């Protein structure tokens, strides 16, 4: 054996070590570059000036509205259900909404009974009546499926309109036991996991206390659901899909202000 010379196994080991070090350095450089790019992207995607600049994505949180419009669709989930967006230090941030079951939203009350041209619908079996604009078509004991076809549905009245700002309104009633409270019925009858009595906003309808759940992630395109109990009849009034903005809220509340129980 000659001293001062490296054997082939040692040379191979050194070569592998050099390759490992080089690969590690390359990977770290790539990782740092990606992190910086993600930080830049994250900053741009969340930049805002006011709360109106932000949009909530139920799965990934709050982002700039313009960024959301061009962003890829997110997977279906409800991680941020019950949250809203706020622009804090020019960054869109998520804020969890506080339970509002003990808060009455004063904006939901309307006294406008509608014009004299409005039609009146009375359900003797459901023990109620209401007025609605002539722009609506009323379906009795029927409802529309998501593809627009009409289907038989007992104990149902459905209002549909092609006019902008007129939300589709459906009223379904069911006779129940006299020993059950409104909260118990909401808990038992609602199939949507995001609807629980503690999340409802108090809503008075025909002098009876009800609970409304706005902009739920329920169904194919979301919904707003109102529940009320009167004389052992449980009522579910909902708006399925579509938008739920100022005009839709006003029309919904305007029509519901004409709702009367036939006691």
User: What pLDDT shows up at residue 234?
Assistant: 97
User: How much is the average pLDDT of 196-206?
Assistant: 91
- Contacts for 4 with CB less than 8 Å, ≥ 6 apart: none
User: What pLDDT shows up at residue 15?
Assistant: 64
Q: What is the pLDDT of residues 2-20, one digit of tens each?
A: 455 556 665 566 666 667 6
Percent of all residues in the chain with a pLDDT value above 70, rounded to a whole number: 75
Reported as a pLDDT band with limits 50, 70 and 90, residue 135 is very high
CA-based end-to-end distance of the chain: 111
Rounded Cα–Cα distance for residues 104 and 151 (Å): 36
**pTM score:** 0.59
* pLDDT beyond 70 at 89: yes
- Quickly list DSSP for 100-158: -TT-B-GGG-------TT-EEEEETTTTEEEEE-TTEEEEEEEEE-TTS-EEEEEEEEE
| β-bridge partners, 202 | 104, 211
Q: What is the pLDDT of residues 161-176, one digit of tens each?
A: 999 889 999 999 999 9
Q: How many CB atoms lie within 10 A of CB 198?
A: 12
Flag the least confident range among 78-82, 103-107, 194-198, 199-203: 103-107
* pLDDT beyond 80 at 40: no
| β-bridge partners, 97 | none
* pLDDT beyond 90 at 77: no
User: What pLDDT shows up at residue 43?
Assistant: 59
Rounded Cα–Cα distance for residues 243 and 249 (Å): 9
**Three-class secondary structure assignment of 51-89:** HHHEEEECCCEEEEHHHHHHCCCCCCCCCCCCEEEEEEC
Reported as a pLDDT band with limits 50, 70 and 90, residue 44 is confident
User: What pLDDT shows up at residue 174?
Assistant: 96
What domains does the chain contain, in order, with CATH numbers?
8-96 (no CATH), 106-261 (3.40.1000.10)
User: What pLDDT shows up at residue 182?
Assistant: 94
Highest mean pLDDT among 115-119, 149-153, 233-237: 233-237
Rounded Cα–Cα distance for residues 99 and 91 (Å): 25
User: What pLDDT shows up at residue 231?
Assistant: 93
């Amino acid at each position: 054996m000659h001293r001062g010379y490296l054997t082939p196994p040692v040379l191979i080991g050194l070569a592998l070590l050099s390759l490992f070090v080089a690969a590690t350095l390359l990977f770290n450089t790539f990782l740092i570059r990606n992190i910086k790019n993600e930080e830049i992207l994250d900053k741009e995607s969340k930049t805002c000036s006011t709360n109106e600049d932000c949009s909530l994505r139920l799965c990934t949180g709050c982002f700039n509205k313009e960024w959301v419009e061009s962003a890829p669709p997110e997977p279906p989930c409800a991680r941020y259900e019950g949250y809203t967006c706020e622009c804090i230090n020019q960054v869109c941030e998520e804020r969890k909404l506080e339970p509002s079951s003990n808060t009455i939203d004063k904006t939901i009350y309307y006294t406008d009974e509608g014009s004299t041209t409005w039609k009146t619908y009375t359900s003797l079996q459901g023990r109620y009546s209401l007025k609605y604009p002539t722009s609506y078509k009323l379906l009795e004991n029927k409802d529309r499926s998501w593809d627009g076809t009409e289907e038989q549905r007992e104990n149902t009245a459905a209002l549909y309109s092609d006019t902008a700002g007129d939300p589709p309104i459906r009223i379904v009633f069911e006779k129940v036991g006299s020993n059950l409270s409104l909260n118990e019925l909401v808990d038992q009858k609602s199939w949507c996991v995001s609807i629980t009595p503690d999340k409802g906003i108090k809503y008075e309808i025909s002098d009876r206390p009800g609970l409304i759940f706005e902009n739920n992630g329920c169904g194919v395109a979301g919904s707003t659901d109102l529940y009320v109990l009167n004389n052992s009849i449980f009522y579910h009034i909902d708006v399925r899909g579509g938008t739920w903005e100022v005009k839709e809220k006003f029309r919904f509340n305007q029509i519901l202000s004409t709702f009367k129980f036939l006691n």
